[in-house]
Structure 1
Amino acid sequence: MRIGIDFGTSYSAAGAVIDGRLQLIRFGDDHQFRTTVFFPLRMPDVAQFELTEALSEQVRVLVAGAKRDQTQEQARVQRLREEAMRQPAHARAQALALVPTARKQSDFEIQRAAVVAVRRQWAADQIRQAMTAGADVDNALYGDEAVEAYMASGTGHLVVSPKSMLGYKLEGNARETLLRIATQLLSHIRTKASAQLGTQVRAAVMGRPVRFRSSMKEAGSAQALEILTDAAYAAGFDAIDFLEEPAAAAYGYHRELAAPSRTLILDIGGGTTDIALADVGGPSAAPVIHGSWGDPVGGTDVDIELSMRGVMALFGKGITPTAVHRYYEASTVHDLERQNNFRQASFKHVDAPYGPRLERLKLPGHTVRLNRAVERAKIGLSEQDQVGVELDYIEPGLRAQLDQTRLQDAASPFLRHLGELMRRAKADLSVEPDSVYLTGGMSRSPYVPAAAREIFPGAKIVTGDASLGVVAGLAHAAGA
């Protein structure tokens, strides 16, 4: 059994063609899940504390120190009392009143206090070791459930959009960590698919962008594919193939058309924007792909800009001397290094109310909560004139008001990239396309079809399934 997998920046999905019919895999109540994974920490059980030889030695050291300190304190109090008694009669009572009372603890009390101190230190060490050792991969949670669990627990590891990191230079054990995360996500998909389809799924066609987000150009894409391949095999797949995401969307659209059409497929996801020119429809078994183009920009870039331009003023951006990159670090939830840098920064020197607000934003889950609210506002502004972003977890009554003008401003860098990419594709075309087929989460935004009409005024704009257009095509490709 071979399935199609859309391993997305924002959301992931899977599907298969059974007896000629598309069957999408369910993840909870939906056909997709947020590409986010939460690894809880294995926290120590204090009931498991035992006085080993090493810990008993710590107790003996503490007891000896406590007895020594107690003897010295009693001697000091005795000296103060003797000095007070040597005072003149009229000043003696006042001097004695200033002498502290030195209560002598029994050996049992000293021993018990030492054991309590050693147990407390042991628990703290166990927690630090758990945090250093990493995550409880056997109890990972996925999607919105992962986000909710992270915000509720305040501990553990939340990884948002691991796909966004695959193409970057990975220092130290970062590659192994990312491989483990990708393995967990693909294992989750394979397990769900196997259970729903009633057979062990061992092969897949996985979507890939034309260009991965990367700091290493082509080497970054090669690294990303290598990690995904290793992760797929580690997750239990025996065979894995890759298909560019706009080409995959062409497979899905191909089956919807009775008449042939030369179509420009425009797939705009959370992390990348991809284009393919394909002959779709008609009697042929599969679409014919003539070329592809891609840029590593997408919906998450609009989310970040909307946060920067519409929300971060409430945290002092443009008002206090706080460096602008700190606000980018807070807004970029899929970048673990930036998130870590933000959490390690101190804003106690920043004037109120902005410093306290930034300190609150550093608390576990709060940057993710803000990012989700901004993303919802972006989606809401596709249909509404104004949307509020509630920030009462930062400060009671704190609220940002976003409108269409603010969204258009935040989307302007992305739209510039989108226009340049479509013009680049148009320059390479020998003939104009009959239609432009839109898919991917960002295709819901009204400014995307408007941009497509501007570049391809003679083409028919076709709105496909924004969420499942790519996975449907991958499933058909897998079943071919």
Structure 2
Amino acid sequence: MHIGIDFGTSYSAAATYRNGELEIIRFGDAAQFRTAVFFPEVVPDPNDFTLTPALEAEVEAQVRDLRTQLRQFGGAERSDDALRRDAVRMVRRQWLEDRARNSPTATLESFQHALFGDDAVDAYLEYGDGNLIESPKSMLGFRMDPQVRKVIVHIATHILEHIRLTASRQLGEAVRSAVIGRPVQFRSSMGDRGSEQAVELLREAAAVAGFDEVSFLEEPAAAAMHYHKSLATRQRALIVDIGGGTTDVAFAELGGGQHPEITRSWGLPKGGTDLDVNLSVHAFMPLLGNNIANVPVHHFVEAASVHNLPKQREFRKQDYRMVDEPWQSRLRNLQKPGATTRLNQEAERTKILLSADATHHSDLGFLEDGLGVDTTQPELIDAISPFINRLKRTLDDVRGDLANSDAAASVFLTGGTSRSPAVQAAVRESFPEIELVKGDPSLGVVSGLAVAAAELDGMPP
């Protein structure tokens, strides 16, 4: 049996058809889960090592021991600086070993006890240790060294295996085949090669996760297959899928009892996570000194980008001891384990609530007692305007490319970010003469992937 898998930047889902009926795979009580995984194993970052007074004393003791050994065994003379460098390396190595051994989560068999979704985030925030990986899909298209590649494949493997085993339990049979959704254009630092690499990594991860057969379908094409089932007559339609990491558009001929035909597609490597970052920088980071303190602006972007591990690492190793108060204390508190994740969660919550509410108060007491900020709808619109403008330019390109084609009868809008009133307004403004049809923001893509999976099984729904 094939299943459809929407391996999303923000959320992931799976579905199949049984006896002609769509069946969504349940993850606990939910139809999808946050694309995050928590490994209790502690892999301390050497960049976190700093010489405290206690560690400095250990370094001095090591220097004395090394000097004594040289005298006893007649070694070559070495300078004090050389001895100190060796001593610091020895103390750092011992610090790394002790930190891993003494972690409150070190007694768990980490990779056998990985947690997924909101449970992963909750565990990370509770323990304040271990490894939380959010939005691994956003890293698949970037240049990486062999060790990082191995880690990324390992993470993707755990997520896909979690999906496969959950589906197998629900369906009562071993699931070994899947149709996996993919964006038209992955986020990438390598252009088209980045998208090729992303598919290669997902294929490799799927094989290790126990899938014997996988194929890939562009996400707007999957959404088109879902919309296709609801159309009694043949029509041309634009499919606009705006997810957490990417925005994809397809032009298709659908409905009327014939097979759907995708004739064009366009991709923008931006999505809902960009809205979260922009809102965090715009609404929250001024409280930490953005455009006020003597701190480069890119530090605040790095802090807000929880889906980007290299940027998070860069932020956490910055030294803010020379920054004026209150920014110094707030920034150093933001560098503590879990703090950037908490801030991102609040940015996401604010974005969602301001879709309906005029204002929202955010409690940032984890950075400083009593710290908070009120954000208004106009401030949200201002913060996310860079993404809205990019979206409009992409849709303008679509209009231009289709200028000599027959007009579409409808625009089908899906993807989690399509819930945003500002996003809906931008699509309406770009195609005012075409009917806007709102699909299921969460399950539109995975439902179409299930249709494609059923066809591969020879049982078209």
Counterpart of 1:349 (choices 306, 322, 338) is: 322
Aligned twin of 1:444: 419
Counterpart of 1:330 (choices 280, 286, 303) is: 303
Aligned twin of 1:25: 25
1:223-265, Cα deviation, whole Å (9 max, x unpaired): 0000000000000000000000000001111111222221100
Aligned twin of 1:290: 263
Q: 1:309 and 1:29 mapped to 2: Cα distance?
A: 35
Aligned twin of 1:214: 188
Root-mean-square deviation (CA, aligned residues, Å) is 2.1
1:203-238, Cα deviation, whole Å (9 max, x unpaired): 000000000000000110010000000000000000
Counterpart of 2:447 (choices 437, 453, 472) is: 472
Counterpart of 1:314 (choices 281, 287, 292) is: 287
After the TM superposition, which segments of 4 or more aligned residues of structure 1 sit over 6 Å from their partners? 121-124
Aligned twin of 1:372: 345
How far off its partner does 1:449 sit?
A: 2.1
Aligned twin of 1:125: 97
How far off its partner does 1:127 sit?
A: 3.3
Q: 1:228 and 1:199 mapped to 2: Cα distance?
A: 23
Counterpart of 1:136 (choices 110, 121, 128) is: 110
* 1:229 and 2:171 are equivalent in the alignment: no
Q: Quick check: which has more Rg, 1 or 2?
A: 1
1:344-391, Cα deviation, whole Å (9 max, x unpaired): 111121111110000001111110011011001101111111111110
Counterpart of 2:401 (choices 422, 428, 450) is: 428
Contact 2:237-2:412 at 8 Å conserved across structures? yes
Secondary structure of the 1:13 match is strand
Quick one: which amino acid aligns to residue 248 of structure 2? D
How far off its partner does 1:130 sit?
A: 9.2
Q: 2:237 and 2:325 mapped to 1: Cα distance?
A: 55
Contact 1:14-1:189 at 8 Å conserved across structures? yes
Contact 1:203-1:240 at 8 Å conserved across structures? yes
Quick one: which amino acid aligns to residue 181 of structure 2? G
Counterpart of 1:404 (choices 377, 391, 395) is: 377
Q: 2:397 and 2:200 mapped to 1: Cα distance?
A: 28
Contact 2:181-2:219 at 8 Å conserved across structures? yes
* 1:161 and 2:135 are equivalent in the alignment: yes
Q: 1:278 and 1:135 mapped to 2: Cα distance?
A: 49
Aligned twin of 2:172: 198
Aligned twin of 1:88: none
Q: 2:390 and 2:341 mapped to 1: Cα distance?
A: 26
Q: 2:210 and 2:428 mapped to 1: Cα distance?
A: 44
Alignment of 1:226-305 (within 5 A): 226-284=200-258, 286-305=259-278
C-alpha spacing 1:322/1:123, structure 2 compared with 1 (3 Å) = closer
1:69-94, Cα deviation, whole Å (9 max, x unpaired): xxxxxxxxxxxxxxxxxxxxxxxxxx
Secondary structure of the 1:41 match is coil
Q: 1:175 and 1:24 mapped to 2: Cα distance?
A: 31
Q: 1:154 and 1:19 mapped to 2: Cα distance?
A: 46
Contact 1:39-1:135 at 8 Å conserved across structures? no
Contact 1:135-1:156 at 8 Å conserved across structures? no
Q: 2:412 and 2:114 mapped to 1: Cα distance?
A: 37
How far off its partner does 1:135 sit?
A: 8.7
Contact 2:42-2:100 at 8 Å conserved across structures? no
1:45-101, Cα deviation, whole Å (9 max, x unpaired): xxxxxxxxxxxxxxxx99xx9xxxxxxxxxxxxxxxxxxxxxxxxxxxxxxxxxxxx
Aligned twin of 1:455: 430
Q: 1:425 and 1:150 mapped to 2: Cα distance?
A: 42
How far off its partner does 1:155 sit?
A: 1.1
Secondary structure of the 2:428 match is helix
- Structure 2: tracts of 5 or more residues without a match: 44-60, 66-92, 456-461
C-alpha spacing 1:122/1:344, structure 2 compared with 1 (3 Å) = closer
1:252-283, Cα deviation, whole Å (9 max, x unpaired): 11111222221100000011000001112221
Superposition TM-score, scaled by structure 2 size: 0.85
Secondary structure of the 2:252 match is strand
Quick one: which amino acid aligns to residue 426 of structure 2? A
Aligned twin of 2:160: 186
Aligned residue pair count: 404
1:453-479, Cα deviation, whole Å (9 max, x unpaired): 222121000011001100011011100
Q: 1:300 and 1:125 mapped to 2: Cα distance?
A: 35
Secondary structure of the 1:173 match is helix
Superposition TM-score, scaled by structure 1 size: 0.81
- Structure 1: tracts of 5 or more residues without a match: 44-60, 66-120
Quick one: which amino acid aligns to residue 407 of structure 1? L
